[in-house]
Amino acid sequence: MRYLVTGVTGQLGSEVAQELLSRGHEVFGTGRKEEPPALLYGKNGFSYTAFDLADTDALRAAFEKASPEAVIHCASWTAVDDAEKEENRETVRKVNVESTGVLAKLCAKTSAKLLYVSTDYVFNGEGTAPYEADSTDFDPLNVYGATKLEGEKVVRETLEKHFVVRVSWTFGRYGNNFVEKMIRAAEGKEVVKVVDDQFGTPTYTVDAAKGIVDISGSEEYGTYNLTSSGGYVSRAEFAAEIFKAVGINVKIEPVKTSDFKSPARRPLNSRLDSSKLKAHGFGILPDWRDGLKRYLAER
Ligand SMILES: NC(=O)c1ccc[n+]([C@@H]2O[C@H](COP(=O)([O-])OP(=O)(O)OC[C@H]3O[C@@H](n4cnc5c(N)ncnc54)[C@H](OP(=O)(O)O)[C@@H]3O)[C@@H](O)[C@H]2O)c1
């Protein structure tokens, strides 16, 4: 199949493109950087175009050139704190909402499928119950989450052949993620402060990419949560597993999210219930601890 994948220079998009190519699909990748990641460079079946998603004319031109049968929209403004700044808000909306609307309309017009990658940040994270895929308890706490939710809505309203796939707590080879942050934070330290009141499921992007490609190849349209298996943990528990796996001997001092001042509020409960996947015939992802080991071996 011929795919358009946005954000192939990012953590998730790079792995999605790689997974599609390994299954023999043609991939037209887009990003903002001049060059695609080394992982994709020169690969058979892969082509790349760089442009800013805020430029919807460039997006339309790329779509026409690619003439895709399916689109996987991974690109997004992901800098959660910077999204709060007044001067950035219009651009965040353009990137996360308007570009999604343009893609949705183009897909509807050409009968292409659209898979939109979303986030647990569409919820407020109150309580402890995992969010089901079809939950409509939307209440984003920050601009990033609000614009991702608007993206979800525009996709649902514009075309039938859509998938909304929410991931959370991802870590991958191409990007700044929690694993790297923790390893850096522990350098030369005896004690590292880590929040113990945010809960979720860490997810390796290689595994998420496989799940996303499986879903995109189906006709089981709708909304899914897609995280690794292995249960829910706190950030502090995740950090402990990272330090153990890397062999770093550092003490974790548990702290609360409210102890850290940041421009954007963040949900404490990022537990996503991925069980809808199984009900629609999709496999479940491997345990996040296993993903972490593979990531550390491959990084
Ligand atoms: N990381 C997480 O924990 C997490 C959690 C929940 C959901 N998600 C969702 O997962 C998806 C993928 O995120 P990720 O972790 O791969 O993020 P990432 O590593 O930050 O990658 C973001 C991608 O979007 C592209 N992009 C951003 N702004 C752009 C613009 N104005 N024009 C063109 N391209 C632009 C980036 O291009 P350049 O690199 O070339 O600038 C990059 O390819 C997003 O939809 C995100 O909302 C991520």
DSSP structure string for 221-239 = -EEEE---BS--EEHHHHH
Is 271 within a domain?
A: yes
Domain containing residue 47: 2-172+202-228+267-287
What stretches in the chain show pLDDT beneath 70?
A: none
Which amino acid belongs to residue 170? T
H or E stretch including 4? strand 2-6
Is 262 within a domain?
A: no
The CA distance from 276 to 254, in Å, is 33
- For residue 198 and ligand 1, the question of a CB distance below 6 A is answered with no
Task: Write the CB contacts of 187 (distance below 8 Å, at least 6 apart in sequence).
Answer: none
Task: Write the pLDDT tens digit of every residue in 24-50.
Answer: 999 999 999 999 999 899 999 999 999
For the record, the structure tokens of 89 come out as: 């808000």
Choosing from 5, 30, 57, 76 the residue with most ligand 1 atoms within 8 A of its CB, the one to mutate for a pocket test is 76
State pTM to two decimals. Answer: 0.97
Task: Write the pLDDT tens digit of every residue in 194-229.
Answer: 999 999 999 999 999 999 999 999 999 999 999 999
Residue 188 CA to ligand 1 centre (angstroms): 31
Is 242 within a domain?
A: no
Where does residue 210 rank: exposed (0-12), middle (13-18), buried (19+ CB within 10 A)?
buried
Where does residue 251 rank: exposed (0-12), middle (13-18), buried (19+ CB within 10 A)?
exposed
Is 156 within a domain?
A: yes
- For residue 225 and ligand 1, the question of a CB distance below 6 A is answered with no
Residue with tokens 């460039």: 58
- For residue 13 and ligand 1, the question of a CB distance below 6 A is answered with yes
Is 56 within a domain?
A: yes
**Among residues 130, 120, 295, which one has the least CA distance to residue 205?**
295
Is 283 within a domain?
A: yes
Is 234 within a domain?
A: no
Which CATH number covers residue 82? 3.40.50.720
Quick check: is 131 catalytic?
no
Say what the pLDDT of residue 248 is.
94
How many structural domains compose the chain? Answer: 1
Closest atom, ligand 1, to C-alpha of 94: 31
Is 68 within a domain?
A: yes
- For residue 101 and ligand 1, the question of a CB distance below 6 A is answered with no
Taking a C-beta distance cutoff of 8 angstroms, is the pair 113, 25 a contact?
no
- For residue 142 and ligand 1, the question of a CB distance below 6 A is answered with no
